[in-house]
Chain A
């Protein structure tokens, strides 16, 4: 399986299909058979900090950092760039500000995570992943708890990242948003059953099949969307 550089790939599939596990393997967070190659280099050969600078990972329900404020959380994304014990540099502060502004979380940068709503907290965690400024972003359900306007913002942000040369890989349950990506990886029972362009009819068929034909793919105002088959 190869994921294109400088493109946005969405991974979809039913619950328990192995999407998050695949993402963790791609991030080098799980022991696995076979080899993951990142931008031409075997992932296992990279030192931890080097890997962390190149790959940013956003997990599901990842935080219990109730006491850290939004700014400090986003600053953790700069850890791979900071020498041990060195205070954050100007570049770190600038990256954190860019990330918090990009997710519209800058205004509550001094509020503790425990004081934020689920959606606000998700935007801070997203900012933490953006602050790494890695070449590759791996995001597991980044839209969790986000309301529709902020889902749209995330979609625009993913496109902007790709336009800027970054590679984005996301696990999504919102299929209509997943279909906005460049490529779709369809998974079922721990295996990749299909990989192809989101606009491809074969991809749409694979999508309907993996969800037991309980959804249908349609084109609406120039965008591909799914509707429940009732």
Chain B
């Protein structure tokens, strides 16, 4: 006997197919947009410099935007399932402020500029951001005395976020010369993403996607309430710890490579839900694809709108994501439901 006929399978299949097609189209757009415009694409067979622009700049940053978006979409779906709150954000455990503090400290202590093109400088900043994100999540876990109590975990994340944010501001105040460089990190950018960063993000995405998918039934169970999930024989403490690890790793990796990109993690699962109501197994995969499409679109727009100038991609995602959230609030209050 098979599961009774359901439109959900079909809808999920078409949505995934559509998002993959959109990804392919955006990849083509991504390699076509830049300061030298479409000429680099037309001349890449004849002109080694044009080929280099495509191969070493546009292609990795477009792929990087896709991967960072996928990591944030995945983290958003996991965070909203884990905290049983549709407004949960991947940065809730303090990883964003931890990454900012890591970068601020690295810049203040070693004078590293994010505008430096030398890859060692990038690895240094990326490492600092990742270490900061992981340290912040660990501090959150320490303050919340583990992962058993969702509300305590959430509160600890908020406290860590505020305190580490204040420390970053203090460092900025004491070393004003890093202000501009920090700003570029805080606004998010894919400009420095190279193939190494892509490889790191791809590996982490594959591992976290697989882990999250394997635990997706736990998230479904949790949606029925903690006591019910426990009554179903799910080992919540271990599973919750593993899901927090997935959340921290996915968010920390994305933030470390592209800076703070707002709203992608929050909006991607919502956009999927507005099309299809489904289990976390499908939601995790679809939210990853949606996050990837969102961030790649924003990246292409950020490069194209004021070309040859470039907008920080985080500003675009914040404006678009904020607008989406307002629309969501309007729609839900219009229906008589709270947000």
Binding site for B on A (CB under 8 A): 24, 27-29, 47-53, 55-59, 61-69, 71-73, 76-77, 79-80, 84-85, 88, 90, 93-94, 97, 109-110, 112, 114, 125, 128, 132
Contact = CB atoms under 8 A, between A and B. Distances in A.
Given A80-B233, A93-B4, 6 more contacts: A57-B227, A59-B228, A62-B224, A66-B277, A85-B214, A112-B277
Contacts of B233: 47-53, 79-80
A112 B6 CA distance: 12
B305 interface: no
24 contacts: A29-B231, A48-B233, A49-B233, A51-B233, A52-B232, A53-B233, A56-B231, A59-B225, A62-B224, A62-B228, A65-B223, A66-B277, A67-B223, A67-B277, A68-B223, A68-B278, A68-B279, A69-B6, A76-B232, A79-B217, A79-B221, A84-B214, A97-B4, A112-B277
A67 B227 contact: no
A22 to B, nearest CB: 14
Contact of A69 (B227, B228, B232, B277): B277
Q: Interface on chain A toward B: helix, strand, loop, or mixed SS?
A: mixed
Contacts of A71: 3-4, 6
Contacts of B214: 84-85
B204 interface: no
Most buried by B among A48, A59, A67: A67
Most chain-B Cβ atoms within 10 A of its Cβ — which of A61, A62, A84, A114? A62
Interface in B2-19: 2-4, 6-8
A59 B227 contact: yes
B2 A72 contact: no
A71 B221 CA distance: 13
A44 to B, nearest CB: 14
A64 B223 contact: yes
B1 A93 contact: yes
B76 to A, nearest CB: 14
A84 B218 CA distance: 11
Given A67-B277, A94-B1, A48 B223 contact: no
A69 B12 CA distance: 14
A68 B230 contact: no
A57 B228 contact: yes
Contact of B220 (A53, A65, A85): A65
B101 to A, nearest CB: 33
A94 B8 CA distance: 20
A66 B277 CA distance: 8
B231 A52 contact: yes
A58 B84 CA distance: 19
A62 B223 CA distance: 9
Contacts of A77: 232
The 10 closest A-B pairs by CB, nearest first: A52-B233, A65-B223, A49-B233, A57-B231, A62-B225, A112-B277, A48-B233, A67-B277, A90-B1, A80-B233
B330 interface: no
A24 B230 CA distance: 11
A73 B278 CA distance: 11
B287 to A, nearest CB: 12
B233 to A, nearest CB: 3
Given A62-B224, A64-B225, A48 B234 contact: yes
A110 B214 CA distance: 24
A131 to B, nearest CB: 11
B84 A64 contact: yes
B152 to A, nearest CB: 17
Q: Which of A53, A66, A72, A73 has the most CB of B within 10 A?
A: A72
B149 interface: no
Contacts of B230: 29, 48
B145 interface: no
A103 to B, nearest CB: 16
B231 A27 contact: yes
Contacts of A66: 277
A76 B221 contact: yes
A49 B279 CA distance: 21
Nearest to B235: A48
A110 B217 CA distance: 18
Contacts of A76: 217, 220-221, 224, 232
B6 A110 contact: yes
B8 A110 contact: yes
Contacts of A109: 4
A88 B278 contact: no
Contact of B227 (A29, A52, A55, A112): A29
Nearest to B232: A79
A65 B227 CA distance: 14
A189 B235 CA distance: 32
Contacts of A64: 84, 223-225
B222 to A, nearest CB: 9
A114 B277 contact: yes
A126 B223 CA distance: 15
